[in-house]
Amino acid sequence: MLGIVVTEFLEPDSQAAMTGSNITIRAATSADSDAMIGLLHAADLPVTGVADTPGNFLVAEENGVVVALGGLEAHPPDALLRSLAVDQTRRNGGLGRLVFDRLWQQAGAARYSAVYLLTTTAADYFERLGFARIDRDQAPDGIRQSAEFARLCPDDAVLMLRSVTG
């Protein structure tokens, strides 16, 4: 069984001091950008803006290698789930769920009203996480103006919503 450490949202130096486990979930830094972009490319997900905003992301790291990531983009009062990707060799082991759960805690702490996402391949997975499919014309203005909604995701991507505040 793998050891898992889920770090709090600390400064990167504090996170680096945690040892003794195979997997660590922590806030991403600019040093993680290449690994993050590689994971996103492998999952056929948009990479635009990732290198510019690594602080929006969490990474799961195993023995110094980034094996999963997920991010939230703030569009107050809501947020956009900006990718959830797991290395192909590590899928179906719960890493995506661990990263999502930490992002969900972050969304609650930030007091977002709802989290939205766009997907072309994972709607069933996100339904199991409590998201509901909605019509794209129901997206609030902040989400509509995001690069992912406006330009990066195809028009046939499914828009999904999950309320944070209850």
Q: What is the pLDDT of residues 16-41, one digit of tens each?
A: 323 334 889 999 999 999 999 999 99
pLDDT cut 90: percent of the chain above it: 64
Handedness of CA 62, 102, 46, 129 (dihedral sign): positive
Strands (E), the chain: 4-6, 23-27, 57-62, 65-75, 78-86, 114-119, 132-134, 158-163
User: Would the pTM count as exceeding 0.75?
Assistant: yes
Is the separation of the CB atoms in 158 and 119 below 8 Å? yes
Residue 72 pLDDT: 95
- DSSP characters for 122-143? -HHHHHHTT-EEE-GGGS-HHH
Kindly report the CATH class assigned to 4-163.
Answer: alpha beta
